[in-house]
Amino acid sequence: MRRTVVTGVGVVAPGGVTRDSFWATITAGKTATRRITLFDPSEFRSQIAAEADFDPIAAGLTVQDVRRMDRYIQFAAAAASEAMGESGLDLENIDHERMAVSMGSAVGGTTALEDEYVVVSNHGEEWEVDPEYAMPFVYQALVPSSLASELSMRFQTHGPAAVISTGCTSGIDGIGFGHQLIQDGRADIVISGAADSPISPISMACFDAIKATSARNDDPAHASRPFDRDRDGFVMGEGSAVLILEELEHAQARGADIYCEVLGYASRGNGYHMTGLRPDGLEMSESIVDAMNQGKVNPEDIGYINAHGSGTKQNDRHETAAFKRALGDVAYNIPISSIKSMIGHSLGAIGSLEMAACALTIRHGVVPPTANWENPDPECDLDYTPNTAREAKVNVALSVGSGFGGFQSAMVFGRVKEATK
Amino acid sequence: MSEARAVITGLGIVAPNGIGAPTFWGNTRKGLNGIRKIDRFDVSKYATQVAGVVEGFEATDYIDKRLMVQTDNWTWMALAGAKLAMEDAAFDAASHEPDRMSVVTASSSGGNEFGQREIQSLWAKGPRFVGAYQSIAWFYAATTGQLSIKHGMKGACGVVVSEQAGGLDALALARRQIRRGEADAVLSGGTEAPVGPYAITCQEHNCLMAEGDDPDAAYRPFGTEAHGYVPGEGGAILLVEGLDQARARGAEQVYAEIIGHAATQDGNSHTAPAADGHYYGRALQLALDDAGIGPDDVDVVFADGFGTPESDAAEVAALQAVFGSRASSVPVTAPKSMVGRLYAGGSSLDVATAALAITDGYIPPTINVGSPAFDLDLVTEGRAQPMDTVLVGARGIGGFNSAMVLRRVTE
């Protein structure tokens, strides 16, 4: 059985646009949520988001890259370069035919598509738009596969490449598909992760319409409140994390500094409702158990759970039920946190940022907190690591995702144990 | 322990030249063109004025109105395709264990028309005029989510995006689940609905489409007058089952087994496929390796048939790299010349068409080629020929290459 390890992490996130600043933000319990500056939000129900203060040129992109790539791809390109740099892989001396790309994104190039639409439709006046006014790279905005193409071009990868677009579980599923490519022997190195930049009028408006986002506009810093009694919805975010996945022996042979191993990955559809969740958390618990079984992990082994913790009423209840169902009473003893409390919910990207957080937690022995947790909710009665990070040796970390369409995914990372031969 | 064998047992086709496998196959055998002048909006400002357009599709024949208003027509076609596929296979999802069924589809551009309508409302009227269903209708995962919910399929559901290569890549994931015993039945494949004013605007800017308004002179893969591709809508949803499970339930028919797949990336293009066809050829070869067969075992090639001179030449180079001197004698066809490129729906439809060709012993034609530009045995008139093994190739804009091998199932 081929085993997958993580050998590099790169991040673009709100509150800090490198891996180190991301880690500093989330372990300090600092919130990066604020009034939206990317456009004028005053007509919207939810006027707040966690924005990344990202300068693509400073991050090493060229002006032509910036023209060609929508914002979410720029994030991914920067994160991938950071991750590749940290991995120590020598691009001149590796087999590019054994390199793959597996990236998640929930909404792809929506931002660029909307910007172009405003022009070609003359501010929404014309249904029969004028094609002449669109910019040359609008096709690359239409198809989210551009995310995989661009990373493949950037690192000249010639193995399989794809975008996995399963809504809000895209991040876990993108890394999961990469893990499967290594397991199946189709690649030795996978540039995996996810990216989204959904802080645009249409994305904000569509969540306004179903009141899924927080309307705590007068207090943005305290608006994302996972597991708190007074939570009122998620706060939109943006960003990207890229993890370099590598086959274990390939990484060991070159003396790579290994973060952790992908011990298990599973996903389920709830077959129930596009936005509703069954209160018992059954399908999420099945994903968790499946992922744990793949890695022969027991509930007692888990030192940290990175929750989906979106901060909607139903999600946090559903998830708490799923943890109890999957882990039994042990669930009460495991530190859990939602980093969405600090960096918002960046739809498909967040799963990759959460897996990056798990890798960093295992390496640094610090569990990031859930910020803004003030008031207990009787239906959410586990240990959510309120407000302050904790030092803890974590050998195994679990992360979960849940999204529109009924997708429920789980992934388990663990410190590498030598194979018992 | 031997791995389960993944077989195609049901076909749900919604294509410009026919809805439902029997109608589609009858028309495809005859070489009936489904490419038409676009008449649902004024195309006078567009260079490309034709597309593969599905006619006579009544969504209400397949889904109820309540679901229709929550979904884009890309999802309608997939919901119809799934219904047709399960009817074709005589597969009753309600009588199967939900955890043993899943859905893996491909998408390349999501709910175009729904999205355009809601963005239009937002910018013309304001945020409060954006409807409640935009959040679940537009995004690429909508089709898989709706199929999973509608049919109670609760296994590992997925969505793969790799432009026109996506259909093969999704079917490969379905095959993986079957082989590993993680599922007994998977709805897979994909549809696409890119024929609206804004979606066509976006596509025109890739500068790879055929200009003009003559449906019979626009998309001419492998011909001397090839000058671009034509987009189209529709696709195919296939039911993929484990062979033993299909037989145990007394399945009506087994079209073909999926015996090989591979994908590669050119790694140098955000637009047209690489001109040398090197990594496309590698995908074809790796798919044969995965199937454990050699090029001499391939009876027919279903080509990608991009339709630009450079990309057609690249495909011929790829075939020559894999088949050597046999590249000029192995039968090659591109039935997508009848429907256009349907993106994620296109490679899905190619697999469905290949499955029908194997079952019927008939190679469907490539139409509108005119004078052939390459030394190939390009099938331009339908040809009765028994076949066991078919190689299906697909390339996606942005450097994606994928290939799948299908084989007739014998005892």
User: Per residue in A56-102, pLDDT tens?
Assistant: 999 999 999 999 999 999 999 999 999 999 999 999 999 999 999 99
Cβ neighbours of residue A50 closer than 8 Å, sequence gap 6 or more: A14, A15, A31, A32, A33, A34, A224, A235, A236, A237, A238, A342, A343, A344, A346
Is residue B362 predicted with pLDDT exceeding 80? yes
Residue B332 in any domain: the answer is yes
Q: Are residues B348 and B387 in the same domain?
A: yes
- Give the homologous superfamily in CATH for domain A4-109+144-414: Thiolase/Chalcone synthase (3.40.47.10)
CATH assignment at residue B284: 3.40.47.10
Q: How does the average pLDDT of chain A come out, rounded?
A: 97
Inform me whether the C-beta atom of residue B45 falls under 8 Å from chain A C-beta atoms: yes
Question: Is the Cβ pair B127, A201 closer than 8 Å?
Answer: yes
Chain B CA closest to residue A206? B135
- pLDDT at site A420: 46
* Cβ–Cβ below 8 Å for B148 and A406: yes
Q: Are A355 and A171 in contact (CB under 8 A)?
A: yes
Q: Is the pLDDT confidence value at A418 over 80? A: no
Same-domain check for residues B289 and B163? no
**Whether the Cβ atoms of residue B328 and residue B145 lie closer than 8 Å to each other:** no
3-state helix, strand, coil in chain A (%, to 5): 40, 20, 40
Q: Look at A140 and B398 and tell me if their CB atoms are within 8 Å.
A: yes
Distance CA A197, CA A68 (A): 15
Region A13-20: what's the mean pLDDT?
A: 95
Chain A hits for B107, CB-CB cut-off 8 Å, are 165
pLDDT, residue B3, reads: 86
Does residue B255 sit within a domain? no
- Nearest residue on chain B to A183, alpha-carbon basis: B176
Question: Are B140 and A144 within 8 A, CB to CB?
Answer: yes
B121 touches chain A (CB under 8 A): yes
Which of B205, B228, B248 lies at the terminal end of a domain, its last residue? B248
Query: Residue B18 domain-assigned?
Result: yes
Asked if B136's CB is within 8 angstroms of A274's CB, the reply is yes
pLDDT in tens, A190-199: 999 999 999 9
Q: At what angle do helices A313-327 and A282-294 cross, to 10 degrees?
A: 50
Please give the single-letter amino acid code of residue B187: L
Say whether pTM exceeds 0.95: yes
Check whether B109 has a pLDDT greater than 80: yes
CB contact under 8 A, A142 and B199: yes
Tokens of A208: 């306004």
Closest chain A C-alpha to B197 CA, distance in angstroms: 6
Task: Give the count of Cβ contacts less than 8 A between chain A and B.
Answer: 283
Q: Residues of A with CB below 8 A from B142's CB?
A: 274, 405
Measure the CA–CA gap between B383 and B357, rounded to whole angstroms. Answer: 10
Q: Are residues B218 and B123 in the same domain?
A: yes
CB contact under 8 A, A124 and B121: yes
Which chain B residue lies closest to A168 (C-alpha atoms)?
B141
**Domains contained in chain B, number:** 2
Chain A residues lying within 8 Å of B269, measured CB to CB: 149, 153
List Cα–Cα distances, A384 to A157, A280, A354, A377, B400, in angstroms: 40, 19, 15, 11, 43
Give mean pLDDT, residues A408-412: 98
Pure H helices in B92-224:
112-124, 134-137, 142-151, 166-179, 197-204
pLDDT in tens, B238-265: 999 999 999 999 998 999 999 999 999 9
Q: Which domain holds residue B356?
A: 260-407
Does the beta carbon of B386 lie under 8 angstroms from any beta carbon of chain A?
Answer: no
B44: exposed, middle or buried (Cβ count in 10 Å: 0-12, 13-18, 19+): exposed
pLDDT category, B191, cuts 50, 70, 90? very high
B217 and B293 in a single domain? The answer is no
A135, A158, A267 member nearest B157 (Cβ): A267
The partner residue sitting opposite A165, judged by closest CB among B107, B151, B270, is: B107
Domain map of chain A by residue range? 4-109+144-414
CB B234 within 8 A of CB B349: yes
Asked if the Cβ–Cβ distance from A162 to B160 is below 8 Å, we say yes
Q: Do the Cβ atoms of A166 and B108 come within 8 Å?
A: no
Mind telling me the catalytic residues of A?
A: 168, 308, 345
Cβ of A269 within 8 Å of Cβ of B140? The answer is: no
Q: How confident is the model at residue A5 (pLDDT cuts 50, 70, 90)?
A: very high
- B31 and B149 belong to one structural domain: yes
For tokens 């679990």, name the residue. A398
B1 inside domain: no
Give the per-residue pLDDT at A36: 98
pLDDT above 70 coverage of chain B, percent? 100
User: Are residues A10 and A353 in contact, defined by beta-carbon separation less than 8 angstroms?
Assistant: no
Which of B 277-296 lie inside 8 A of A, CB atoms? Answer: 279, 282
Residue A396: half-sphere exposure toward Cβ, Cα within 13 Å: 17
Residue B253 belongs to a domain? no
Given B248, B282, B314, the domain boundary residue is B248
- Asked if the Cβ–Cβ distance from B120 to A127 is below 8 Å, we say yes
pLDDT of residue B411: 67
Residue A151 has pLDDT above 80, yes or no: yes
Q: Are residues B302 and B322 in the same domain?
A: yes
Residues B290 and B228 reside in one and the same domain:
no
Q: Which of B1, B44, B113, B159 is best to mutate for the A interface (most A CBs within 10 A)? A: B159
Among the residues of A194-247, which ranges form H helices? 201-209
Q: Is residue B254 part of a domain?
A: no
The set of residues, in sequence order, having a beta carbon less than 8 Å from that of A133 and lying 6+ positions away, is: A119, A120
DSSP letters spanning B340-393:
-B-THHHHHHHHHHHHHHHHHTEEPPPPS--SB-SSSEE--S-EE---SEEEEE
Q: Mean pLDDT score of chain B, rounded to an integer? A: 97
Q: Does B158 touch chain A (CB under 8 A)?
A: yes
SS3 A59: coil
A chain contacts of residue B141, beta-carbon cutoff 8 Å: 106, 165-167, 170, 403-405, 407
According to DSSP, residue B295 is labeled G
The answer on B295 and B241 residing in a single domain is no
* Residue range A225-283, pLDDT digits in tens: 999 999 999 999 999 999 999 999 999 999 999 999 999 999 999 999 999 999 999 99
Task: Say yes or no to pLDDT of A421 above 60.
Answer: no
Residue-level pLDDT at B1: 52
Asked if B267 and B354 sit in the same domain, the reply is yes
Last residue in a domain, options B218, B248, B278? B248
What integer is the mean pLDDT of A396-410?
97
Q: Where are the beta strands (DSSP E) in B297-350?
A: 300-302, 331-333
B146 & B276 share domain: no
Per-residue model confidence (pLDDT) at position B57: 97
A419 pLDDT band (50/70/90 cuts)? low
ipTM score assigned to the predicted complex:
0.98
Q: Identify whether residues B195 and B315 lie together within a single domain.
A: no
Across the interface, of A124, A204, A405, the residue whose CB is closest to B142 is A405
Two tokens at A123?
A: 């501010």
Spell out which residues of chain A touch residue B155, defining contact as CB-CB under 8 Å.
Answer: 268-269
Q: Is A342 exposed, middle or buried (0-12, 13-18, 19+ CB in 10 A)?
A: buried
In this complex, which of A117, A120, A209 lies closest to B132 when CB atoms are compared? A209
